[in-house]
């Protein structure tokens, strides 16, 4: 896997945008030490390269009424590429699923799910997740306290051009 070669200014831009994608281009340029036009041009190039995939707003889960978060380990009945792809596709249709990863080890998939309360979470697992044809079993763990949730990638390991 290759990374996009970046300048020191690119790294500054990315560092700032990862923490506040809503910053104006004028303020971004000022903080990076560039004029606005070249700064905007570079942001557009970073978007075109695919390094910047999209810009989003992060909501407070609890204020949004989603008081329950859980990790869910899933094992499938059939360990085929088609079975795994079908499961992953089904996860895209479930708004409760925040993340879905194919895994090595004892489980096939690891999910992050949210729900309004424990009863809703139980209904989700019972009526949606366990009703999928290829699911063998699930093991869930409730998140008791969130100590760190980070969306910004560590950029210090990226290569400079």
Domains of the chain and CATH, by start: 8-57 (1.10.10.10), 68-142 (3.30.70.920)
Query: And the tokens for 114?
Result: 């949210």
The confidence band for 155, taking pLDDT boundaries of 50, 70 and 90, is: confident
Summarised one tens digit per residue, pLDDT across range 86-145 is 999 999 999 999 999 999 999 999 999 999 999 999 999 999 999 999 999 999 999 999
Q: What's this model's pTM, rounded to 2 decimal places?
A: 0.86
Contacts of 128 (CB under 8 A, 6+ apart): 94, 96
CA dihedral 125, 128, 133, 138 (to 10 degrees): -10
> What are the residues whose beta carbons fall under 8 Å from the beta carbon of 100, sequence distance 6 or more?
88, 91, 109, 110, 111, 112
Question: Which H or E run includes 76?
Answer: strand 68-76
């Amino acid at each position: 896997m290759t990374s996009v070669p970046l300048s020191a200014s690119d790294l500054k831009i990315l560092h700032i945008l990862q923490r506040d994608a809503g910053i104006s281009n004028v303020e971004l340029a000022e903080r990076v030490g560039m004029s606005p036009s070249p700064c905007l041009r570079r942001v557009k190039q970073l978007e075109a390269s695919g390094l910047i995939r999209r810009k989003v707003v992060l909501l407070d889960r609890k204020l949004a009424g989603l008081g329950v978060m859980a990790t869910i380990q899933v094992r499938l009945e059939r360990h085929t590429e088609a079975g795994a792809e079908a499961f992953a596709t089904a996860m895209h249709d479930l708004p409760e699923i925040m993340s879905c990863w194919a895994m090595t080890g004892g489980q096939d998939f690891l999910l992050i799910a949210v729900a309004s309360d424990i009863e809703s979470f139980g209904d989700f697992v019972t009526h949606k997740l366990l009703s999928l044809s290829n699911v063998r079993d699930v093991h869930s763990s409730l998140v008791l306290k969130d100590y760190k949730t980070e969306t910004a990638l560590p950029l210090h390991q990226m290569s400079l051009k």
